[in-house]
Structure formats: structure tokens, C-alpha cells
């Protein structure tokens, strides 16, 4: 996986290794390169030399997320054509790192080679790397044994170790290990290297030991991936590019599954490489919503784990409230010592309503009333949080204002960068803030909570109350957020109720939540598909022409695939199938320029200008909700709707993709076929 520029990644859940194309790791304090697990870099150096020469890569096979094969030769690139010595490194990530190393002698003479592996461990917390913090308060140690090298770090009760060993006799020293390799012409030599990562409790028990019980050896990984892909619906299409994107998305979702420490063995989606390889409330819930037609097995463990960690008290450091669903859970040093509040951190306003939305959508898909009953109290608590704790101004909206002044997030919506919420003239609003899409989520949660109360929980009085609250929110929202002279909804409300008048992609989320009156939808759609927002590849996060617009601004002009997938879903809900198809075509076509993998975001430059999508320099990849975007766009194009008592199929397919069908969709109807055949198309490539 070559998604950080010039690097290759090997992934299994939140355990991953990022190296250069020869397989070497030479980290800097601010670069997310190395071997990581549980938010900690266990190896910051892993460099192979032969007779003192570094390796030059010739080929890399990274077609399987958990295994990468490197073919390299020692010396500078200009010398390798005549190289008599070559090496193959086969790296596999599971609970730990294993790497088989094979050295070949294709020369005509006997050789004695000094094969050296340089090893270092800085045990950097992921936040130390992200924010370029070099100072550490703990103590490092090194233990050299006859058959292993043990590197460790302690700070109070926080204790991490990595143990490096080899299958062949080696000479270990504080900086690594070396082999004296003697080869005759045509002979090869091999060893198996292992790096075992330990997250040790004060009593010496390894917190990661449960992962090894679940996966006692790395032979289960290929089977796991094959089973995951086989369980998904089959995509039948004329489009080679679309088939590539679908398969890549499935494989990436498999790669990002992980079992959070101390929370049982169930797998949930990590948000994305490299910074977000952990549990996020919002990201996980939205990924599960996107993938329900394809990989519904992600949803029950995600809901259960988030329910088990639901807020139960008031804590201003963690920004916890009763009923609040977490934002982010971390295991690194900074979380352990509350230098970052992620143990867990609750600073998000959308995860709580989205929890209810997903629970309802899952029950509609699966018919699994047992899970809806099991999580009834947690869903009720999330709905209560909306009104009791999130309405900071007593105006009936979901607001946010950070309580953790030191390390909390300023913006607690999905656009959580510091300058993502601004007026059209560039001014930043005050706090608290109420973003438009969050009100849509709250409305949707109340409507869906009412359905669950009436049909599953057996509480019609509660259902009527929620429906009344939803109706009041609908009326209030459409009075206060609608900008009649502009024909779109305000991005947010300022602390005094003033409408923040920016044109943004957030208004597209209002369509999938259903809070937009039908008579206003055409004006909203006109803006979404107009030149200020729609780039040709997708809808920009922020409209061209506004003060803070930048096509390479993180939330101020880039195109986010996940964002577009929900916008397209909303367009279909309101009957704008052709417009949804245009978005689907743009996003999925862009994926083909990224080797089938949709990144976190890409540049918002006009398609006619660049002819290809522009890579965002620090975009995470793979990213769970970007992989999930493929699945939701397919559902949207095919018109697959579980809100009736059958699968309604009403295709709106771009001509670019030809025939598209998803076969054997899992759901409450059992496994059945859902076909979508191409209809006649108009000149612009959309369905007539």
C-alpha cells in the first residue's frame, strides 16, 4: 500500500508498519514511519545493509494488506544492473511483525557477506509524531541477550517493550543484529525475523496477549481476508475500474478491522492510516451506515463497543456527559498521562444522534430486533443527551463549546479543524456553535428513535413525544437556518443566533437526514451541483468564492469521498437520481487515479482544469469512511432501499460504468439478488 508519499504500508487493524520501497525504516520525530501498535511506534529504525551498503528497491508486491514482499539489491541504483547479490524481504503484520529475509548469490565466486539489521525503538506516541514533540519524560533501556534484543521504555506504570529475534544464529548488540553469511555461487540463505510488541501492565501482563490468542499464527490472515471478501455481495459490472475500486475498498475495510484492547475480541473499523488507527465514534458509525448493504457484520460490534463506553458522568477534561457517545479512544502514553484527553475523549456532538440512526438503519436491514432491544437504554440515553446536555443555549439545538480548554477540540462536528467553520467573509464565529448538519442528525435520530420505540421497544408514548420534538425541531430549523436570499442553509449558528452564511457541503447532509422541506430541495441541489461547490470530481467542502476557500484546504475546499457519498444518498432520497449519479461517477472515477483506493480527501480543483484529481498532501489512506463511500455510492446508484418490506431497485447509473449489479445482498430477506441494468442515457452520460 503506497499511500504516504514514497512509502509502503503493511496493515492489520491498528497494527501497521510504514517503510520505504526497499523495506527499510528510518524515522524522524515528525514522520509517521515505523512499526506501530496501540498508538505507539515500537520500531523507529529497521534498516538492512549488506557489507555496509543500503538496499535499493527493484520491485514491491503490496497486493495483500497484511503482507508485503520487497525485492532489493545492495548499493546505489546505478550499480544494481550488475549486482551479484540480491535480497527478498517478505513482511507480514499480525499481532506482531514477522519478516523472512532471503539473500541470493548469483555471482561466480564464493561470498562471505556481513548482513546487518539496524534496530531502534523510540516508543513515540502517535500524538508526539503528529505534533513533532521530541521530549519524553520516561526512561529507555536496552537488554542484549544471546538470542534476542529487548528494547524498552518506562514512565511510571506505563511500560512498553519490543523484542527482536531471528531463526538463524545472529550476533546481537545494542544497535541491532548481524549475520555472517557464506554463500557458494547459486546458493541462498534465509532467516525469519520477529519483532514482538508488548504493552505491559504493572503486574507484567501484556495487554496485547489477547490478540495473539485470537490469532495464534499469521496463517489465519489470508483466510480471514478471503472469507471477508467472499461474504460480501458480488459486483457484476462492465467497468474494470469500478470493479477495481470495489475490491480495493473491501480489502481496505478488512485491513482496518481491529479489536480494541480490553474490550473483547469483536472487530470494529479503525478510522484510517496513519493518524487515526483507533476507534472513533463518528467515523465508525458513518462507516457502518455506508457499508450495511455489503458488510453488515461491522455494525453490531461497533454499536456494542460504543454503548459499553457511553458517557456515564460529567467530566470536563474528557468532555464526558451521561449518554454521550465517545469521539476517540487512545492507548498511547499521552492518553495514559492525560496529556491528551483520549482515554476516551467525548468531544463530538454528532456521534450520539448517529448512534441512534445506525441502530435503526441496522434493524431495518437485518430485522435484528434483539440488538435493538439490547441497546434500548443506551439509545434512549443518547436521545436524552441531545436535549439535556447538548442544548447549551436553551434554544432547542445541538451546540458545542469545548470544556477542556487545554487539549479539547474547538470544532466538534465532522469538520473539526480550527478554521473549518467560518462566515463567507472569513470571520470565525464565537462559541457555542451549532452546525447545520448536526441538527439534521438530531432530527433523524428522533424520527428513528420514535420508530424503534413504537415497533420494537413497545413504548408508543415515548414515540409520540419524540415525533413531537422532531416536528418542532424541523419547524425551528427551517426558520432559523434558511437563508432565503441565498437559497441555501447557513453553515451554522453563531453563539447569539446569527446565521453563519457560508455555502458548504454540509447542506448536502441535510438531505439524507430528511430535514429539508421538499419545496426547498431544488434550490439546495442547485447549489450543491453548481460550479462553486461541484468540481466535476465531487462536491467541495467549501464553496469557491468565499474568503477561506482553498482547493487544498483541509475542510475549506477539498473533496471528501465520504462527504460526497452521503450527499449523493440524500439526493436520491429527494428524487434527484441524475445528480446523485454525477457525484458517484466523479468520486469513483477519481478513485481509479489513486490505484482504486479513495483517500481521505483530494484537491477541489475543477475537473476541466486538471483532467485528473490532485492528491491532498497529508490525506490519510486507507481511510474507513472513504472505503465505505464506494459501498454507499453503489447503494445510491442502484436505489437499494430497505425502508420498505422489500429491496426496491431503481437504478440511476452513469453510462461510464455500463452494466452494474450487486448480487446476493445480505439483509432481513435473506441473501437475494438485486440487479440493476443500464437504462438509456442522455448526452451528458446520466440516466434519462
Average pLDDT over residues 237-253: 93
Q: Distance between CA 64 and CA 441 in Å, rounded?
A: 37
What pLDDT does 217 receive? Answer: 61
Lowest mean pLDDT among 127-131, 192-196, 651-655: 651-655
Q: Distance between CA 348 and CA 342 in Å, rounded?
A: 12
- Judge whether residue 221 has pLDDT over 90: no
Average pLDDT over residues 293-311: 95
**Angle in degrees, CA 630, 633, 638, rounded to 5:** 125
Name the most confidently modeled range: 121-135, 216-230, 477-491.
477-491
- Judge whether residue 220 has pLDDT over 70: no
Strand order, beta sheet including 660-665: 234-237, 660-665, 672-674
pLDDT tens digits, one per residue of 16-44: 999 999 999 999 888 899 999 999 999 99
Average pLDDT over residues 357-383: 96
Average pLDDT over residues 547-576: 97
- Judge whether residue 325 has pLDDT over 70: yes
Top-confidence residue, 124 or 207: 124
Q: Please, which pLDDT band fits residue 4 given cuts at 50, 70 and 90?
A: very low
What pLDDT does 678 receive? Answer: 41
What pLDDT does 5 receive? Answer: 47
Q: Distance between CA 257 and CA 507 in Å, rounded?
A: 31
Helix (H) or strand (E) holding 26: strand 25-26
Q: Among 99, 115, 92, which residue's Cα sits nearest to residue 193?
A: 99
What pLDDT does 240 receive? Answer: 92
Q: What is the mean pLDDT of the chain?
A: 91
Lowest mean pLDDT among 52-61, 221-230, 393-402, 673-682: 673-682
What pLDDT does 158 receive? Answer: 94
Average pLDDT over residues 163-189: 97
Lowest mean pLDDT among 278-287, 334-343, 472-481: 334-343
Q: What are phi and psi of 520, to 5 degrees?
A: -95, -15
Coil vs helix vs strand at 79: helix
What pLDDT does 650 receive? Answer: 65
| 499 and 480 Cβ atoms separated by less than 8 Å | yes
Q: Distance between CA 634 and CA 614 in Å, rounded?
A: 23
Cis status, amide bond into 293, omega within 30 of 0: no
Helix (H) or strand (E) holding 159: strand 158-166
Q: What is the DSSP letter of 276?
A: B
What pLDDT does 612 receive? Answer: 95
Q: Please, which pLDDT band fits residue 648 given cuts at 50, 70 and 90?
A: low
Helices (H) and strands (E) in the chain, counts: 18, 27
What pLDDT does 552 receive? Answer: 97
357-361-363-367 Cα dihedral, nearest 10 degrees: 170
- Judge whether residue 261 has pLDDT over 80: no
Lowest mean pLDDT among 132-141, 205-214, 555-564, 664-673: 664-673
pTM, full prediction: 0.92
Share of the chain above pLDDT 90, in %: 75
| 654 and 643 Cβ atoms separated by less than 8 Å | no
What pLDDT does 267 receive? Answer: 84
What pLDDT does 133 receive? Answer: 83
What pLDDT does 643 receive? Answer: 65
Q: Please, which pLDDT band fits residue 79 given cuts at 50, 70 and 90?
A: low
What pLDDT does 331 receive? Answer: 84
Average pLDDT over residues 212-220: 65
Lowest mean pLDDT among 382-391, 577-586, 600-609, 631-640: 631-640
Average pLDDT over residues 295-322: 96
Q: Distance between CA 680 and CA 688 in Å, rounded?
A: 6
What pLDDT does 680 receive? Answer: 35
Q: Distance between CA 667 and CA 544 in Å, rounded?
A: 41
List 177's β-bridge partners, or say none: 117, 172
Amino acid at each position: 500500500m503506497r499511500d504516504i508519499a514514497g512509502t509502503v504500508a503493511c496493515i492489520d487493524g491498528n497494527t501497521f508498519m510504514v517503510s520505504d520501497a526497499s523495506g527499510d525504516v528510518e524515522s524522524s520525530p515528525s514522520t509517521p514511519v515505523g512499526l506501530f501498535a496501540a498508538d505507539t511506534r515500537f520500531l523507529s529504525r529497521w534498516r538492512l545493509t549488506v557489507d555496509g551498503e543500503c538496499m535499493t528497491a527493484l520491485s514491491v508486491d503490496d497486493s495483500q494488506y497484511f503482507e508485503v514482499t520487497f525485492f532489493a539489491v545492495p548499493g546505489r541504483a546505478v550499480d544494481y544492473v550488475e549486482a551479484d547479490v540480491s535480497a527478498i524481504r517478505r513482511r507480514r503484520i499480525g499481532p506482531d511483525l514477522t519478516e523472512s529475509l532471503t539473500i541470493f548469490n548469483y555471482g561466480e565466486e564464493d561470498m562471505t557477506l556481513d548482513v546487518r539489521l539496524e534496530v531502534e525503538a523510540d516508543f513515540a506516541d502517535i500524538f508526539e509524531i503528529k505534533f513533532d514533540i521530541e521530549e519524553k519524560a520516561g526512561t529507555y533501556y536496552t537488554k542484549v541477550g544471546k538470542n534476542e534484543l529487548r528494547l524498552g521504555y518506562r514512565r511510571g506504570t506505563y511500560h512498553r517493550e519490543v523484542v527482536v529475534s531471528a531463526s538463524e544464529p545472529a550476533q546481537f548488540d545494542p544497535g541491532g543484529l548481524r549475520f555472517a553469511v557464506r554463500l557458494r555461487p547459486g546458493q541462498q540463505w534465509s532467516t525469519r525475523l520477529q519483532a514482538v510488541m508488548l504493552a505491559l501492565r504493572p503486574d507484567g501482563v501484556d495487554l496485547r496477549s489477547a490478540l495473539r490468542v485470537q490469532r495464534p499464527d499469521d496463517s489465519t490472515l489470508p483466510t480471514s481476508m478471503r472469507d471477508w471478501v467472499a461474504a460480501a455481495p458480488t459486483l457484476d459490472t462492465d467497468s474494470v475500474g469500478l470493479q477495481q475500486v470495489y475490491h480495493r475498498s473491501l480489502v481496505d475495510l478488512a485491513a482496518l478491522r481491529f479489536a480494541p484492547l480490553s474490550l473483547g475480541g469483536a472487530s470494529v473499523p479503525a478510522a484510517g492510516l496513519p493518524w487515526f488507527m483507533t476507534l472513533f465514534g463518528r467515523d465508525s458509525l458513518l462507516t457502518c451506515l455506508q457499508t450495511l448493504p455489503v458488510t453488515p457484520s461491522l455494525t453490531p460490534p461497533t454499536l456494542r463497543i460504543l454503548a459499553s463506553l457511553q458517557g456515564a458522568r460529567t467530566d470536563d477534561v474528557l468532555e464526558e456527559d451521561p449518554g454521550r457517545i465517545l469521539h476517540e479512544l487512545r492507548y498511547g502514553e499521552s492518553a495514559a498521562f492525560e496529556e491528551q484527553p483520549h482515554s476516551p475523549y467525548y468531544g463530538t456532538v454528532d456521534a450520539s444522534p448517529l448512534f441512534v440512526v445506525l441502530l435503526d438503519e441496522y434493524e431495518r436491514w437485518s430485522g435484528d430486533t434483539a440488538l435493538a432491544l439490547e441497546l434500548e437504554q443506551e439509545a434512549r440515553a443518547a436521545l436524552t443527551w441531545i436535549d439535556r446536555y447538548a442544548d447549551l443555549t436553551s434554544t432547542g439545538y445541538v451546540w458545542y463549546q469545548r470544556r477542556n480548554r487545554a487539549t479539547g477540540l474547538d470544532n466538534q462536528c465532522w469538520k473539526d479543524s480550527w478554521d473549518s467553520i467560518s462566515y463567507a467573509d472569513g470571520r470565525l464565529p464565537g462559541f457555542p456553535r451549532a452546525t447545520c448538519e448536526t441538527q439534521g442528525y438530531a432530527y433523524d435520530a428522533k424520527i428513528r428513535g420514535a420508530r424503534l420505540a413504537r415497533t420494537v421497544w413497545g413504548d408508543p408514548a415515548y414515540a409520540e413525544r419524540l415525533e413531537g420534538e422532531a416536528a418542532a425541531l424541523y419547524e425551528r430549523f427551517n426558520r432559523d437556518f434558511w437563508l432565503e436570499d441565498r437559497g441555501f442553509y447557513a453553515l451554522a449558528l453563531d453563539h447569539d443566533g446569527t446565521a453563519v452564511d457560508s455555502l458548504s457541503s454540509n447542506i448536502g447532509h441535510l438531505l439524507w437526514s430528511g430535514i429539508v422541506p421538499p419545496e426547498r430541495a431544488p434550490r439546495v441541489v442547485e447549489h450543491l451541483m453548481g460550479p462553486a461547490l461541484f468540481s466535476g470530481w465531487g462536491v467541495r467542502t467549501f464553496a469557491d468564492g468565499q474568503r477561506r476557500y482553498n482547493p487544498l484546504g483541509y475542510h475549506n475546499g477539498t473533496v471528501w469521498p465520504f462527504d460526497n457519498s452521503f450527499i449523493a444518498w440524500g439526493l436520491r432520497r429527494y428524487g434527484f437520481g441524475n445528480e446523485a449519479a454525477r457525484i458517484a461517477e466523479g468520486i469513483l472515477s477519481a478513485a481509479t487515479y489513486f490505484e482504486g483506493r479513495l483517500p481521505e480527501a483530494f484537491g477541489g480543483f475543477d475537473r476541466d482544469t486538471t483532467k485528473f484529481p490532485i492528491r491532498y498532501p497529508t490525506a490519510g489512506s486507507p481511510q474507513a469512511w472513504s472505503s465505505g463511500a464506494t459501498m454507499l455510492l453503489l447503494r445510491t446508484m442502484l436505489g437499494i432501499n430497505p425502508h420498505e418490506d422489500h429491496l426496491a431497485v431503481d437504478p440511476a447509473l452513469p453510462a461510464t460504468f455500463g452494466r452494474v449489479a450487486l448480487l446476493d445482498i445480505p439483509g432481513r430477506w435473506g441473501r437475494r439478488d438485486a440487479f440493476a441494468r443500464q437504462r438509456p442515457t442522455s448526452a451528458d452520460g446520466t440516466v434519462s
